[in-house]
Chains A and B, each alone.
Chain A
Amino acid sequence: MKSLRWKKGWYAFFTGFFIAAFSSQLFGQTEFDEATLKGAKREGKINYYGAPDLGIALAPVFNLFNQRYGVEMNFTGGRGRENYDRILAEQRAGRYVADIMSTGPTTMSDLKWRGVLVSHRPPNLKHTPEEFRDPDNILIPVYLNIYGLLVNTSLVKRGEEPKSWKDLLDPKWKGRILADDPRGAGGGNTWFIVTYKTLGGPFLAELAKQNLQFRPQYLENEKSLARGEFPVYLPALAGAIARLKGAPVKWITPSEGVAYIAISQGLVKNTPHPNAAKIWANFQIGDEAQKALGERGNTPVRADVPVPHPELLLKGKKLLGTTTEDDLKQGAKIRKFTEQIFFAK
């Protein structure tokens, strides 16, 4: 009788253990304690400031997040600078609205230096590669931008594509290269800094003589190339392949390597919904959100999440380099050089 009771006890213990383990896998809730989960539900919503394309990429998982945690997502889509202005104004006035912010390293690092973001280490961070993590645990990486070249295959014959960044100095490309504006935050700026560090200022000065055609919106630039307005576009995101499916385009990894950056998120100081923000920060680097990002053409920061296009993978590509916080602190100097060689008035 006693052994039977003992056995039942063991059964109950193991059953409970497996149910708990299973449900944790299924619902991903064990990463947070009861108080955080209840707190998030009580808060009921989260105000997320991010790039509009991120909002569209993640839209399918916003509902999932709501169903799972009872937290409604209020996504405020805006350019990095606009969200930056909003958050700084909110912090100065003590009228806190934003819970979480996400954008590129230039703006995020600036917010970090200003003390607007707080340190937080979500449980899923352990799945992200060490090299993209912030030692201060303030900037939490979400996805990667990989920059190479995009060519229009209707205008450029096979075998005649530029194979390296230096190939662009060939006179045949003069006036035919579409480029993202390198001033301010964005892909053009990242590429410019990385190229300046690796290929050097003289290379950029030579490139400037090719009369690059700058346009302000990188996602529209991809389409201009697809329509045949230009044969080459730089720096092109690898994700262009996903967005321009069916168009006559080819993404190229230049022989010198690709430039890349991590787009990160950060929890805002004095957030009105701290528990919900913590859970979202973790959810965004969870399986579902990372997969959704990959499908829209963003490289998930987690290497273990499959992507629909090989171009999106960073692994296996030669790397030209990335920007560091030190580079970003040299912003004014770099901007002056850019304006001097590309935008002399």
Chain B
Amino acid sequence: MIKPLPPPADQSWKILRLLQTINLSHSLMTFTLLIVGFLTLYPVMMLLFGSVRSAPPGDAGNFTLEAYTEAYSDYSTYTILLNSLVISCVKTILALLLGGFFAWVVTRTDTPYPRLLEVLITLPFFIPPILTAVAWAMLANPTTGIINKFLMSLFGLESPPFNIYSYGGIVWHMTHYSTAFVFLLIIGAFRAMDPSLEEASHASGASGLKTFFRITLPLMLPAFMGAAILTFIRGVEAFESALFFGLPAKIFVFTTEIYSSLVHRTPPDYARAMALAVTLMAITFILVLTQRRMMGGKEYFTITGKGYRPQVVKLGLWKWTTFGFCLAYFTVAVVLPISQLILSSFFMIFGLYDLKMITLANYQQAFSDPTFWRALRNSLLLAIGGAGLCMFLSAIIAYITFKTKFWGRAVLDHCSWVPWTVPGMVLALGMLWAYILLPGPVVLYGTFWILLIAYLTLGLPIGVRSMAGTIVQISPDLEECSLVHGATWWQTFVRIYLALLRPGFTAGLMLLFFLFMRELSASVLLYSPGNEVLSVTILKYWEAGRSEVVSVIALVMLAVVLLFRVGETWLLRTKPSVAMT
């Protein structure tokens, strides 16, 4: 509740107050632009610089476009790009359909146990993809896959029905992660929407389906567009699924080609990797522009000064069907692969379930490793602190972008996308170059802070998008009302916007928390001894061929994630998402 300030004593005081507000807000906006520019553009500029040099930054070299000529004069580059776009497009459509449906079921219907379902549906997002890839290779490989064997014996089939090493396998694996991702991105917007608009539609005689397509869906468009673009970009940038399931089937995508430039060439061909990554940057840039154009001139205000009570759609007996569908998804995306992880954590060799090989040594190995405990502490610190800071910065960016006429708002918006326009492994290299060559007395390399800065950078696209989906729904009347009553810009931002944005803020916070818990590409290049994080520890064991110990650590990570998810849903239950009177 905002208390109106006492009326000003005279006009001069009012003018002074207005000037202070303008100065503060403009200073803050400019400062935000500088910070975001440093976080996002500086590493990318280093990469672009490296792409037109014959040697990496810091080394003597000449300016050349050789990397671009080599990359784009090869016909196969375009075939591979097409592969990436098609795979990403298919999995984005699937993820939007599934994620959107689940978000609607959980927030806007009377399907039983919505909070439980919410936790369960999001779990695939938190399992390291490399682990689920191994698990799915065991479940659906054409020779010994457990599911294939089961179905073949059940139906007397002569050949295995599934082959995970295929286009379908890549899309299948990516969709699990992406569905949970879409769900997390849009659930805040679903929650924040005023159902009175739907009620009005119903009262006017529109059917449920018509209301959904004419009212609900258009109102969800900003959130859906943001989620679609992020999911699509993540799909183009996705790496693990394509590497694991594509390589045996000789299916190549853009990121595996970038990976190949860095890993399969000695010395690594940084310039070629970046020259290829420029295409991804261009695609993302076009997508962002498209989104802005599509959104331009439309209003999506569903949060106004009017109070409302959340209302749900009564599904009758269908609620058990929706419940069953959610559970089926959870079973396929989580139970099946996780059961492999749990089982394997008790065996000497991952997936070789011989009773003679049962052991607790994997748990002993993980828990007796001091690095594991240090990594757990560091990961939690970075995930909580980093997510909080990033969301706060994202809220300011989203506000400036969508609610002000600040001259640099478009630049700010584009800057916030930049970290996702460059594949993680390439951006990590840019960060390494940028921060190690940082001029001045401040030394970031080799410290804990470099990880925090990297996480802030990587989290911006998600943070800003989850805030944007909700912030555009807030009517400007509220802000005007606050300012009219004498509140400063800062007071308005904190007491009106942040309070109303809590559903989006919380959803984004949790997304970033989980994203940071599993962040690997930047961490592996920027961590230093003593500053290890869980994902790096997982990689260390993975590279050492100890996927059984990796299973143990992944299960611990899942337990932490589950704890936080339950905590989040409990918090949201005790304090309703949007409550204004």
- The answer to whether A74 touches B432 (Cβ under 8 A) is no
Q: How far is the CA of A244 from the CA of B524 in the complex (A)?
A: 28
- With A220-B545, A220-B547 known to touch, is A226 a contact of B352 (CB < 8 Å)? yes
A-B contact pairs, 15 of them (CB 8 A): A51-B544, A52-B539, A79-B263, A89-B437, A92-B56, A92-B57, A184-B265, A185-B266, A216-B244, A216-B247, A219-B543, A224-B137, A228-B144, A229-B143, A247-B352
Residues of A within 8 A of B248 (CB): 213-215
- The answer to whether B263 touches A219 (Cβ under 8 A) is no
- With A85-B432, A228-B144 known to touch, is A76 a contact of B528 (CB < 8 Å)? yes
B542 to chain A, nearest CB (A): 7
Q: How far is the CA of A230 from the CA of B56 in the complex (A)?
A: 41
Binds B, one of A26-34, A132-140, A313-321, A328-336: A328-336
User: Which residues does A use to contact B, with CB under 8 Å?
Assistant: 47, 51-53, 55-56, 74-79, 81-82, 84-86, 88-90, 92-93, 95, 97, 106-107, 110, 181, 183-185, 213-220, 222-224, 226-230, 243-247, 328, 331-332, 335, 343, 345
Q: Within the complex, which residue of B80, B252, B268, B349 is in contact with A85, where a contact is CB–CB below 8 Å?
A: B268
Q: Within the complex, which residue of B138, B250, B528, B546 is in contact with A97, where a contact is CB–CB below 8 Å?
A: B528
Q: How far is the CA of A114 from the CA of B134 in the complex (A)?
A: 37
Q: How far is the CA of A181 from the CA of B165 in the complex (A)?
A: 16
Q: Within the complex, which residue of A74, A82, A93 is in contact with B524, where a contact is CB–CB below 8 Å?
A: A82
- The answer to whether B530 touches A74 (Cβ under 8 A) is yes
The 8 closest A-B pairs by CB, nearest first: A219-B545, A92-B58, A74-B529, A183-B264, A184-B264, A53-B544, A345-B76, A52-B543
Q: How far is the CA of A316 from the CA of B432 in the complex (A)?
A: 46
A174 to chain B, nearest CB (A): 14
- The answer to whether B529 touches A227 (Cβ under 8 A) is no
Residues of B within 8 A of A226 (CB): 349, 352
Q: How far is the CA of A129 from the CA of B264 in the complex (A)?
A: 31
Q: Within the complex, which residue of B247, B446, B536 is in contact with A95, where a contact is CB–CB below 8 Å?
A: B446
- The answer to whether A335 touches B265 (Cβ under 8 A) is yes
Is residue B342 within 8 Å, beta carbon to beta carbon, of the partner chain? no
Q: How far is the CA of A246 from the CA of B359 in the complex (A)?
A: 13
- With A93-B437, A220-B545, A246-B354 known to touch, is A86 a contact of B525 (CB < 8 Å)? yes
- With A53-B545, A85-B268, A213-B248 known to touch, is A75 a contact of B57 (CB < 8 Å)? no
- The answer to whether A106 touches B266 (Cβ under 8 A) is yes
Residues of A within 8 A of B141 (CB): 229
Is residue B290 within 8 Å, beta carbon to beta carbon, of the partner chain? no
Q: How far is the CA of A163 from the CA of B58 in the complex (A)?
A: 51
Nearest to A218 among chain B residues (CB) is B545
Q: How far is the CA of A78 from the CA of B526 in the complex (A)?
A: 11
B381 to chain A, nearest CB (A): 20
Q: How far is the CA of A343 from the CA of B59 in the complex (A)?
A: 32
Q: Within the complex, which residue of B263, B352, B432, B524 is in contact with A227, where a contact is CB–CB below 8 Å?
A: B352
